[in-house]
Amino acid sequence: MTHPISKTGAGWRFDNSYARLPNFFYTKIPLNPVQAPRLAVLNVRLAEALGLDEAALRSDSGIAAFAGNAAPDGAEPLAQAYAGHQFGHLTMLGDGRALLLGEQLSPDGWRYDVQLKGSGRTPYSRGGDGRAALGPMLREYIVSEAMHGLRIPTTRALAVVETGEPVFREDELPGAVLTRIAASHLRVGTFQYAAGAGGADQVRLLADYALQRHFPEVAEGDYRSLLGAVVRRQASLIARWQLAGFVHGVMNTDNMAISGETIDYGPCAFLDVYDPSTVFSSIDAHGRYAYENQPKIAGWNLARFAETLLPLLHDDEERAVGVAEEEIAAFPDLYAADWLSGMRAKLGLPGEAPADESLARDLLEAMAAYKADYTNTFAALTTGATRQTPLFGSDPFARWQDRWKDRVGGTDEAAAAARRRMRDSNPAAIARNHRVEEALEAAVSGDYAVMDRLVDALRNPFEYTPEQAEYAALPDASSGPYRTFCGT
């Protein structure tokens, strides 16, 4: 069935398939205008990819759309309902401070959700004000652009507007609204909501929608293949997180997207010193979402997804459980294969050899023992500049390097060829936590130049430019452990 597509001068081409689902899955609500919206950030590259006109987006009407003051033609603002296991406890949730404006059809034929975040109260706000502070919205912009540059599937920020209104947390802060672009906002928690508040019929509707939107290659009604496809995408995503040293920080089931994109940049951060037990989130007191636990938690979340699909997998409950267990059991091996493939690339290894995993893990063990920086270690291996750190001056590393040289070919020429391969997998620059904080502090004070320079350096982190070199510097040792908060 075809539907009319609304086109506007800005290039908006809305076709809102989610709004055509039963209203069990959402609530349509009016906009919550703000006093004095001002454009803080426009992601011009993303706008162009979406087929949007930069000048129109910068106009008063464009800014009004980003602020939630006026919906573009064709938008159908709604707040989505979902649930989530938050630190292991299931809670009924929903978009408490977000509105889905609709779905943009890009020039290349892809469909993207356009969501306002920080746009005001909804029926799911649970007593909150529905607003967001400027700093966390800019943080999501910075880190999601960094992830995109690292070629990690991610939602992205199209714009951030200052609202001209304060929000009150521990302190009074400037308010903001972020426009988030996503393949969709279907979450594991969306399925949990459908199963818990609706039942098998609602889960079936949602599963059919997910198949049509994200997995058109899967036959209609093949819910086992839906589960398997989501498992594979998550295995790939989490492997990429681990390979980049990224810590999400709040892997609740409402923060796991069916599409396989990284979603929600609250207490996230990147490793400096390689320590598998690293936790950045101020609220993760027991390390549930520590760096080393992310693959295990992903598997746990996928098991919760599988539970919602049981009525669709087989009429006999015992056989349905068996099907689900088989699909979920594939996750560890899929993740391990993706991780090892990525590590081979990071080490420039040609082909595959049985000892490759031990070679990678032995390096990581030495990095942990000598408190080596994760990103800089691989960057130094890539350039050959392995000097002046405790790790590179150690006997364990010297022995490891001899093994690495033997593995890549045993000659200086073979090592140089390996380093050329490594360059495409080892970034020179990441969104280092102290640099992000520096940029946010300046931007909230009105100076966006620091943030702009940082984002420029992060958009192609594999260039190894002189400008990127300054972003490889480590934080001052006296700054203490880095802590992040759920500001987004």
Mean pLDDT of 4-20: 84
Which residues are tagged catalytic? 254
Q: What is the pLDDT of residue 483?
A: 62
Mean pLDDT of 339-354: 97
482 pLDDT band, cuts 50/70/90, is low
pLDDT tens readout for residues 435-459: 999 999 999 999 999 999 999 999 9
Alpha carbon of residue 253 to chain centroid: 14
pLDDT tens readout for residues 61-92: 999 999 999 999 999 999 999 999 988 888 88
- Which of 298, 213, 209 lies closest to 26, judged by CA? 209
Q: What is the pLDDT of residue 5?
A: 57
Mean pLDDT value across the chain: 94
pLDDT tens readout for residues 260-285: 999 999 899 999 999 999 998 877 87
H-helix or E-strand containing 31? none
The contacts of residue 71 (CB under 8 Å, 6+ apart) are 31, 65, 77, 101
Kindly report the length of the chain: 488
User: To which residue do tokens 């093949």 refer?
Assistant: 222
Contact (Cβ atoms closer than 8 angstroms) between residue 305 and residue 188: yes
481 vs 46, residue with greater confidence: 46
Does residue 96 belong to any structural domain of this protein? yes
DSSP at 484: B
Does residue 167 belong to any structural domain of this protein? yes
Does residue 325 belong to any structural domain of this protein? no
Other C-beta atoms closer than 10 Å to the C-beta of 402 total: 11
Does residue 409 belong to any structural domain of this protein? yes
The contacts of residue 251 (CB under 8 Å, 6+ apart) are 289, 294, 297, 298, 301
Q: What percent of the chain has pLDDT over 70?
A: 96
- Of the candidates 397, 422, 447, which is a domain's last residue? 422
2 pLDDT band, cuts 50/70/90, is very low
Burial class (CB in 10 A: 0-12, 13-18, 19+), 3: exposed
Does residue 363 belong to any structural domain of this protein? yes
Other C-beta atoms closer than 10 Å to the C-beta of 353 total: 11
> Half-sphere exposure of residue 478, counting CA atoms within 13 Å on the CB side?
0
488 pLDDT band, cuts 50/70/90, is very low
Whether 486 has a pLDDT exceeding 70, the answer reads no
Contact (Cβ atoms closer than 8 angstroms) between residue 122 and residue 113: no
Does residue 269 belong to any structural domain of this protein? no
Does residue 69 belong to any structural domain of this protein? yes
104 pLDDT band, cuts 50/70/90, is very high
Q: Is 278 helix (H, G, I), strand (E, B) or coil?
A: coil
Q: What is the pLDDT of residue 305?
A: 98
Q: What is the pLDDT of residue 369?
A: 98
- Of the candidates 422, 439, 467, which is a domain's last residue? 422
- Of the candidates 422, 438, 455, which is a domain's last residue? 422
Q: What is the pLDDT of residue 387?
A: 81
- Tally DSSP H helices, then E strands, for the chain: 17, 14
- What string of H, E and C letters represents the secondary structure of 107-139? CCCCEEEEEEECECCCCCCCCCCCEEEHHHHHH
Whether 148 has a pLDDT exceeding 80, the answer reads yes
Does residue 190 belong to any structural domain of this protein? no
pTM to 2 decimal places: 0.95
Q: Is 265 helix (H, G, I), strand (E, B) or coil?
A: coil
Q: What is the pLDDT of residue 1?
A: 41
171 pLDDT band, cuts 50/70/90, is confident
Q: What is the pLDDT of residue 272?
A: 94
pLDDT tens readout for residues 365-412: 999 999 999 999 999 999 999 888 999 999 999 999 999 999 999 999
How many domains, the chain? 2
Mean pLDDT of 43-50: 98
Q: Are strands 156-168 and 132-133 parallel, antiparallel or unpaired?
A: unpaired
Which amino acid appears at position 7 of this protein?
A: K
Q: Where in the sequence is the domain holding 377, given as residue range(s)?
A: 349-422
